[in-house]
Chains A and B, each alone.
Chain A
Amino acid sequence: MKIGLEVHIALPTKSKLFCGCSTEQTELPNSHVCPVCMGFPGSKPVLNKKALEVCLSVANALKCKLAESTSFIRKTYFYPDLPKSFQISQLDQAVGTDGRVIIKTSAGSKEIRITRVQLEEDPAKIIRGEDYTLIDFNRAGVPLAEIVTAPDISSEEELSSFINELRSILYYQGVDINKELKADLNISTTGDRVEIKNVTGVKNLLDAMRYEVSRQEELARNGHEIHSETRSYDESKMETVGSREKESAEEYGFIFEPDLTVYDTSWAVLKEPVIASRIAEEYSKKYNYSEGTIYDLIKFDMKALEFIDSAKERYSMQSVVGCIELLKKYDLMSIDEASFEKVLKALDSGISLDESKIKLLISGKNVEERHLNDEIIEDIIRKEIGDAEKFKEEYARNPKIINFIVGKVVKEYGASPGYVAEKIRKMLNL
């Protein structure tokens, strides 16, 4: 099975790709529009250099080769959402090419190649009523990055992992991941490639893929050939539906965009790529802590990563993670690093914290220290460990097992995770 994706994401810029209109999507339709993004006769596009810079950063984060100079083309097709009846997009001089994303699955790591990352304008939004269609041009001209993968994805697990990984990388580039992901899905199983256009949202992508794969397998089982075609996904029925358009009829008549020039890219200041999965892997090894826990904490939360980085050399990873989890639980992640340090310090010294105590700490007050009863702690540890020799054997194979015991003790008694871990090591001479 071969699956490839074309993902469209809105780039985080204040103004649109070719005019000064705001990219903010407001309730009031057609309020952020001008002659340029409405395609009025006489208007001309002017490239928003910021959008190019952000797109270069995204391509860079996806390990692409960046174009030294980049240019645009016109892609023509007739649809009411396209103000000029052509979309300004890219072809040969795309912003980035030949990139890759490393995904993790139960079978290990795998590389998914990124064929290209290109910059283009979003069409308008179509609002369909029962017997009418409305057009809202607020979205027309919003800068999009189109990310095209090679057909390297070969299972549902890989698809899910890839989308997750991609979203995390994009999140760290400032992309709003709360906006629904839009993608075209190319799937070939036993025959030709079938394209499912305009699937919105992660859940729908996975559902559409599952349906299409079983549809193709069903056809193959019954001896039918699978022909290249374009389909769409019907969310309500959870199935893919054949479109009237034929694949071969797709003719965009590309020409160079004559209102724009060739843009040098050497001036751009790129945003540092952050690959959360790689950081989780690194910290897991270095601080002997669960990779999955760290990844879940930081994949869509740069504040969590900042907190970890500020404290990881001075506190145990157990305490740091515990502290962040507490803050997340009480929705207090917006505090600054100094406040975080106060909460972390208290937690690490074994104080059991609840929401009101954390708030006291943040406001600069002290909370009462509790005298730890080592005997009780040791009792609980002994109870959880059971046979000490057996535990040591298990520990030798998987040192992270210690975190499991720490978790239990902290839950039962409320001591600091670092303190408990140290205690366990001492008791068992580890």
Chain B
Amino acid sequence: MDLRYSGTMGMISEFAASELPKDYYANLLSEIKEINKKLNAFNVVNEGISSGFPFSVKDNICVKGFEATAGSRMLKGYIPPFNATAVERLLAKDYGFVGKTAMDEFGFGSFGINTDRIARNPFDTDRVAGGSSSGAAVATAILKYHVAMCESTGGSIANPAANCGVVGFTPTYGVISRYGLIDYSNSLDKIGFMARKAEDIRTVLDVVRGPDKRDTTSVDRQITGVKKSRLYIIKGTLEKVDKEVALSFSKFIDKLGSEGYEIKEVSVEDIEKSIPAYYIISMAEASTNLAKYNGYKYGLKNENFVEQYNDFFTEARANFGIEAKRRIILGTFVRSANVKGRYYYRALKIRAKIIERMSAILQDGFIISPTLPMKAPKLEEAQRLPPVKAYMSDFLNIPPNLGGFPHISFPFDYIDGLPIGAQIITSHFNDYALLDFASEWEKQFEYRFKYNLGSL
């Protein structure tokens, strides 16, 4: 393995220092295919992988020549003729593309269940893997040497990372180019990573970050790693999470306190409004992004060309899943002329306020919380949840996503054999501080994995 891999303490450096058996990738592929029958982590595997440190790509990020469905029937058969910038940059450094990972349709979901092939939690296959980057989290939890390129709009990295017991990192908005990402909500979408060690995320982040002339919203800025010794807990957080999670988290916080961190409660005015604000902005943008799927240019083809346009479009668009349809309808409503002031513009104002208030707090501390209010639910439980209840389960992940703040989730405990994650948020462009924090934690806590495919 060559030394272009710069990490020193992660799986990447361990892999780079190892001698690979001749049939390493062939064996890896057959192991993946076998276990994928059970866990549905991958939508597509790359039969051609023959070198490099394996990385998977969420199915809403384009890899040239490989089907990209974003978990939707509407995009069945769409083969992008270009690479996403982030993918391009990893490939240029000899990382090996291993496959496309499963997800909720277009990123619409918190459990990975809003799609045809549902990824399962490797710790308990009756349970969900989380969402929307469900397959990325499962792939990370089963492959020993691997990083997952994934994407978060409102919590789609932190949530499945916590459910599957891996590290999930979402950078500051604009740090990683979105070129090649199939849009959900352009002003909120962020490409990020999952790995088994925080250090591996730093290594790949340094490869892919930086400005891209193909994405106007990508930024040309240095990122920092300023350590904060104060940990803020937003008031009311622990009352809204399951008792067992609250108890475990309180013990974790006590431990951090004993190690020198100052733990402080803080209130953020109107923080609860970030949930409706997030759903309004994301649905408004999503409903315009999904307007292009009309069944004749790419992906699913409607062959009924004799029909009138409206009938033709309507017929093609019946292939969206129920959650996508719900968001198209709500998103179209909130931006319609009569109510736009009450919803869309108001949501934009709330976002600006939340950014202002959280930025002030994050100046002198991290915000910490459990990543999720509960451990991974059973599939049937998740499927029974009414939409608003499901949306509410994101309440800890939405504020940093709405504000474009970098955040990380990492496992800190296991309850009934299921991983529990903690989430840390920091200020814009202080991304390295989160990786430093998680690396520090890894020194005293051993992450557990049920599978270690590709072990050496």
Contact = CB atoms under 8 A, between A and B. Distances in A.
B186 A41 contact: no
A410 B416 CA distance: 109
B437 interface: no
Interface SS majority for chain A: loop
Contacts of A42: 61-62, 68, 80, 82, 84, 179-183
A120 to B, nearest CB: 15
A74 interface: yes
Contacts of A74: 288
B292 A39 contact: yes
B414 interface: no
Interface centre among B213, B288, B296, B336 (most CB of A within 10 A): B288
A374 B186 CA distance: 82
Interface string B106-147: 000000000000000000000000000000000000000000
Interface in A100-156: 131-132
B156 interface: no
A162 to B, nearest CB: 30
Contacts of B285: 255, 258
B389 interface: no
A38 B187 CA distance: 21
Contacts of A131: 306
Interface SS majority for chain B: loop
A79 interface: yes
Contacts of B78: 41
A211 interface: no
Contacts of B294: 78, 80, 85
B80 A44 contact: no
B80 A47 contact: no
Nearest to A74: B288
B313 interface: yes
Contacts of B213: 46
B288 A76 contact: yes
A85 B292 CA distance: 5
Given A35-B82, A78-B291, A253 B216 contact: no
A41 B217 contact: no
Interface string A23-53: 0000000000001001111111111000000
A84 B284 CA distance: 15
Nearest to A41: B182
Interface of B: 61-62, 68, 70, 75, 78, 80-82, 84, 178-183, 185-187, 213-217, 284-285, 287-288, 291-292, 294, 296-299, 305-306, 309-310, 313, 332, 335-337, 340, 344, 348
Given A35-B80, A260-B216, 18 more contacts: A39-B292, A41-B298, A42-B68, A42-B82, A44-B216, A76-B287, A78-B291, A86-B288, A86-B291, A131-B306, A251-B337, A253-B288, A253-B332, A254-B340, A255-B344, A258-B186, A259-B183, A259-B215
10 pairs of A and B residues whose beta carbons are closest in the complex: A85-B291, A258-B186, A258-B187, A42-B62, A41-B182, A253-B335, A42-B180, A84-B292, A85-B292, A74-B288
26 contacts: A38-B297, A39-B292, A39-B297, A40-B80, A40-B81, A40-B297, A41-B75, A41-B78, A41-B298, A41-B299, A42-B68, A44-B214, A44-B216, A45-B216, A46-B213, A80-B294, A80-B296, A131-B306, A253-B287, A253-B337, A255-B288, A258-B187, A258-B217, A259-B216, A259-B217, A261-B217
